Amino acid sequence: MKTFLQYITEEPVLEYHDDTYYQESPAGTARMGKIGPYEIRHRYKSGYGIVHIMHNGESVGHVPYGMHRGHIIPHGPSLHPDHRGKKSLVKGLMSRTYMMLADKTGKTIRSDDAQTKGGRHIWRQLAAKKRVEFSDEGLHRDKMVASLIAGREPRIPRQPYDPEQHEKRAYGKRTGFMVQLYLKPRKPKTKKK
């Protein structure tokens, strides 16, 4: 058994695969579910979590994330090139992983402050499922400031995300934290008695 000092000073094990994919060791993860032939595993500790996408016992992708105000914020999801696009054994693997993470944790996933080309593609796929909402905090800055001064949580109106209508505002050069996309979890089905 490790001592507490050993536990907090250990660095995560990173393995190099190619120029675009780094893998953190999936040790200590719990099984979350399956998406086709891929097993999805999850670990959460002290405000930081990671989801591993496993195939034949190896991690082929991961979604590291942090928590902020009860929302999950993915930071740099990555998928090995042999499991992207047409090479993937499941269409929309990363967007399905996002949906599983939201549904299993019951938490809303919020977009990060910046999106890569791949990140935009994931959010477009999620928008096609009609589960993504768009919030333009820049238009409601006065309301936000007034709420924060009053000690209340700001309530910014959200609307269904439409990539054609919101694309420039969501991914413009100066959006920063002012525009967010939200993937809401599905409500669990209640069993009838």
Q: Where are the domains of the chain?
A: 12-110
126-154 tens-digit pLDDT: 988 888 888 776 555 666 666 667 777 66
Residue-wise pLDDT tens digits, 34-89: 999 999 999 888 778 899 999 998 889 999 999 888 889 998 888 888 898 888 89
Q: What is the pLDDT of residue 51?
A: 92
Q: Which CATH class is domain 12-110?
A: alpha beta
Task: Give the per-residue pLDDT at 23.
Answer: 59
Mean pLDDT (the chain, rounded)? 77
Of 60-64, 159-163, 182-186, the one with minimum mean pLDDT is 159-163
Residue 17 burial (CB < 10 Å; 0-12/13-18/19+)?
A: middle
Distance separating alpha carbons of residues 22 and 61, to the nearest angstrom: 9
Inform me whether the pLDDT recorded for 168 exceeds 80.
no
Each residue's pLDDT tens digit, 98-123 = 999 999 999 999 987 677 778 888 88
Residue 181 gets which letter from DSSP?
A: E
**How confident is the model at residue 36, as a pLDDT?**
93
Q: Which residues are within 8 A (CB) of 128 and not within 5 positions of it... i.e. 6 or more apart?
A: none
Per-residue confidence (pLDDT) for residue 25, from 0 to 100: 65
pLDDT for 7 beyond 50:
no
Mean pLDDT on 16-29: 57
pLDDT at site 13: 40
pLDDT of res. 53: 93
Burial 51-82 (b: 16+ CB within 10 A, else e): bbbbbeeebbbbbbbebeeebbbbeebbbbee
Strands 38-45 and 30-35, by their bridges, are antiparallel
pLDDT in the model for residue 37: 94
DSSP codes joined into one string, 28-53: T-EEEEEETTEEEEEEEETTEEEEEE
Question: DSSP readout, 81-121?
Answer: GGGSGGGSSSTTHHHHHHHHHHHHHT--EE--SS--HHHHH
Poorest-confidence range of 5-19, 45-59, 166-180?
Answer: 5-19
